[in-house]
Amino acid sequence: MGAIDFYTPATGPDLTTAFNAARSHHRWEHGHSGFTGTVAEKETVALIDEPRRSERAATARAEQLVHADDPRISCKWGPAGALPITTDSGERGWLLFGTASY
């Protein structure tokens, strides 16, 4: 199977809670059989310790990291990346991103 990039904003009181909620949501949306190309395929998350930024700016930064094959997030079986963001609705959260099996 192949892989596809994903970019998912998530909110919650902490990164772990937001990550788990996003994974649950995408499993519900795309099924539990695997190969969804979403954050549902990820078991762990790696915080990319950078300044909080807008969702749009974080997506651009995440695209740079994915296209540069950043070793923290480059493996489709490895962790999702997480950048701190302020969502479009003004909430503090994280942009979860990476490459997932598809």
pLDDT per residue as tens digits for the range 15-46: 999 999 999 877 777 666 667 878 888 999 99
Residue range 56-68: mean pLDDT, rounded: 97
Residue range 1-25: mean pLDDT, rounded: 91
Q: Which of 20-24, 52-56, 68-72 comes out lowest in average pLDDT?
A: 20-24
Q: Which of 38-47, 63-72, 78-87 comes out lowest in average pLDDT?
A: 38-47
CA–CA separation, 36 vs 21, rounded Å?
Answer: 16
Residue bearing the bigger pLDDT, 66 or 41:
66
Residue range 40-53: mean pLDDT, rounded: 93
